[in-house]
Amino acid sequence: MTREEIKNANFTPDQRDEIQQGLDKGIDVSVYAREDMLAIQMRQVRLGLLSGVAVSRYNDPAFDWFQMEEIRLGLENHLDVDKYANPDIPYMKMRQIRKGLTMGIDLSDQLDKDSDVLRQIRKALISGVDISKYVNEGYNAGQLEEIRIGISKGLDLDDYISIELRGSAIKEICMGLEDGLDVSIYADEEYSWRQMREIRLGLENQLDVGYYTNAWYDWRQMHEIRLGLLMGLDVDNYATLAYTYLEMKHRREYLESAILSGAGGEGGGTVGDINIAIVDFGMKAIMTCPKGTKYTKAAIDNAMQNANINYGINKTNIRRVVGTMSEGQEVIVAEGTKPVEGKDGYYEFFFETNPSREPKELDDGFLDFVNVDWYETVEKDQKLAVYHPATKGQDGEGVTGVKLPGRNGTEQKVLIGKGFTKSEDGNEYFAAVPGIIEYDEKRATMNISESLEVDEVSNVTGAIDFEGNVHVKKGVGVGSRIKAGGDVMVDGFVEACFIEAGGDIILKNGANGKGGQSHIKAGGEIMARFFENMTIEADVGIQANYCLHCDIYTKGLLDLSNRKGLLLGGMAMVEEKVNANNVGNKLGTPTTVVLGMNDKIREAGKTIQTDIKGVRGELKILENAKNQFQEVFSPEERNTMEVYLKIENAIYTKELQLDGLKEKRQEYVDRIKELMAAKINIRNHLYEGVKFDINGKIWRSEKNYNVTLTGNASNIMVTKN
């Protein structure tokens, strides 16, 4: 089809554009240049032709553009699209079948189920979780999702869930089980998921939830009672069905204010010459009268009665002055009893909760990575902690008889995590497995990660792939492989090998990758005595005495700041900060430092922008198609047309997708702003000839000493420290 033929045909501008793009790429546009195919459908055929797939499998207007896309993607991934290439199968079901086939899972025999259920089946099969029982019993997708996640965490749900519970309710049960709570208290159909949440949060904070487990309370009433218990208030003052949640709130706030102010009332009174003042927030009554006035018992009693003093009367002081002449002095005639706060609950730990993990600098200037308390390890059945519950407060009373509530102590959150068990009363914690223990006070979490200990790793011992932590007591030889879900620690020397960890990597005696392929990658930090001839990647940061001829990448900090710290040779790509003692050498060994923006980040930005452009293009085509339908057909007609309704749904979907991409772009922009503050601190020597790329600006260093480097795309600033 020539450009002239395109011009003379009855195509819309969007259809012409799709055909023109095909001609520009040299593909056979006659395959899709047809007036009965929407431009957005043409696009899917064009993309298929460009990727060299058999577009005949979906080059039919009976398929909507989403269905076409699913078939095209399947063909591009060499899948058996016959499993789902049928116009009668909705594209969302197609998508689940396609994604399943990509992982070797065939869901095409379960097309009687809706797409969301298929999605849960697919995810369950991928993670090795069997939810077929619940699928067969008719649980919906929302319920299945929570069941799948719960089972994948090793939770035993059958005693607590039923098909009558919403997915959000099942989630509350799973969260309670995961935290080791007694969910039988609230795993009941009579509770809504919000009520369940209030009870779960109460159990988490070790509150007496018996005050509000009555299902007749709505969740907001439960909330007010829980907040009162959390504050240590006497909730008996308002925990009754007779009060609405707003009335409960007002009473709770009044009790809180009484505790916070300690107010028992001020005031007093005067009878004749005798004046009684109530001070100290109602806790003390002081009598005064003019000098030379005679005190009488009747006058004092009348003044006390007038001031409404009826508690804590100091009869000794009163007897002492009766019948005497006043010297104008102050006489304490009554004192109240101050409320006593209960003690807060607390944990007593039997392990080091915060090991230093900080290597110390030795006399020779090197950091000592050997003699460091990197982790705290525990043995099976070892006692880890004892919880000491909060104590009750004692009420006080002012001199006028006003009751002053004593705040109960606050309970601490229940420790959650994995790898431990609890005593029957829930107050003692014991290690269920041997391993490395970590405690996070802010999150109230305690986790024991099982550890694999081996003497050494080599080609003879074979590769290691372990979900927990790996501890190698000796060395790691050439060609070895270690992959761990947790941390990796190596006591001995590391040669050319591959080590990957979801957490941190600690190499006590350093690594030299000469003579083989060497790659060390961590989701956390990497710390070593030294690195030579290695490729090192760490999401959080890297610390060592020195790095020689290494390719380095980290999103955080590269720390070589000790007295012997040196960065020499290779390329260091660091997003946030470099602290180094020396960079480069007198010989001018090629050394490159890329700080802040780098090619990885730029490519990520380009991908986001390309995706936004693509979605906007598709949205424009869909909106144009919608406008064409609106011009030709009345609302009554087009609202019964399947293709028009699909266009409307597609516009909604694409708008959501565009919003998500815009948020992603904003996160990218925010990150770029952070990177503009990237800097390198050099405490000692910066040698001549080091190549710096700081946020896009290239600079070859001159000899300098004790400087900080910052920069942007137009300038690099060198500041003396």
CB 535 within 8 A of CB 514: no
Cα angle, residue 619 at apex, residues 615 and 623 outer, rounded to 5°:
175
Backbone φ and ψ of 223, nearest 5°: -60, -45
Higher pLDDT, 262 or 266: 266
pLDDT per position as a tens digit, 606-655:
999 999 999 999 999 999 999 989 988 888 888 888 889 989 989 999 99
Whether residue 135 has pLDDT greater than 80: yes
The SS3 of residue 97 is helix
pLDDT of residue 8: 65
Q: What is the average pLDDT across 388-403?
A: 89
Among 147-151, 232-236, 444-448, 460-464, the range with the most confident prediction by mean pLDDT is 147-151
Confidence class for position 282, pLDDT limits 50, 70, 90: confident
pLDDT per position as a tens digit, 326-346:
998 999 999 999 888 899 999
Whether residue 4 has pLDDT greater than 70: no
CB 352 within 8 A of CB 408: no
- The average confidence (pLDDT) of the chain is 92
CB 191 within 8 A of CB 175: no
Whether residue 370 has pLDDT greater than 80: no
Q: Return the DSSP state at 108.
A: G
Q: Which residues pair with 704 in a beta bridge?
A: 686
pLDDT of residue 359: 80
pLDDT per position as a tens digit, 402-413:
888 888 888 898
pLDDT of residue 250: 94
C-alpha 430: how far from its chain's center? 27
pTM of structure: 0.72
pLDDT of residue 395: 87
Q: Return the DSSP state at 354.
A: S
Report the b/e string of 465-488 with b at 16+ CB within 10 A: ebebbbbbeebbbbebbbbbbbbb
pLDDT of residue 129: 93
pLDDT of residue 266: 64
Q: Is the dihedral of CA 358, 359, 360, 365 positive or negative?
A: negative
Higher pLDDT, 234 or 590: 590
pLDDT of residue 41: 95
pLDDT of residue 2: 62
pLDDT of residue 408: 87
Written as one letter, the residue type at 717 is M
Confidence class for position 246, pLDDT limits 50, 70, 90: very high
pLDDT of residue 7: 65
β-strand pairing of 505-507 with 488-490: parallel
Q: Which residues have CB under 8 Å from 607's CB, separation 6+? A: none
Whether residue 261 has pLDDT greater than 80: no
Whether residue 222 has pLDDT greater than 90: yes
pLDDT per position as a tens digit, 158-169:
999 999 999 999
How far apart CA 314 and CA 305 sit, in angstroms, is 14
CB 581 within 8 A of CB 682: yes
67, with CB counted inside 10 A (0-12, 13-18, 19+), is buried
Whether residue 472 has pLDDT greater than 60: yes
Whether residue 216 has pLDDT greater than 90: yes
pLDDT of residue 265: 57
pLDDT of residue 108: 95
Q: What percent of the chain has pLDDT over 90?
A: 75
Q: What is the average pLDDT across 557-561?
A: 96
Neighbours of 318 (CB within 10 A): 19
Q: What is the CA radius of gyration of the chain?
A: 37
Whether residue 506 has pLDDT greater than 60: yes
Higher pLDDT, 368 or 592: 592
Higher pLDDT, 105 or 269: 105
Q: Which residues have CB under 8 Å from 46's CB, separation 6+? A: 18, 21, 22, 27, 29, 32
Whether residue 92 has pLDDT greater than 90: yes
Confidence class for position 203, pLDDT limits 50, 70, 90: very high
Whether residue 262 has pLDDT greater than 60: no
pLDDT per position as a tens digit, 33-87:
998 899 999 999 999 999 999 999 999 999 999 999 999 999 999 999 999 999 9
Q: Return the DSSP state at 476.
A: B
How far apart CA 510 and CA 475 sit, in angstroms, is 10
Q: What is the average pLDDT across 498-506?
A: 95
Helix (H) or strand (E) holding 175: helix 167-178
pLDDT of residue 632: 86
Whether residue 707 has pLDDT greater than 60: yes
Q: Which residues have CB under 8 Å from 320's CB, separation 6+? A: none
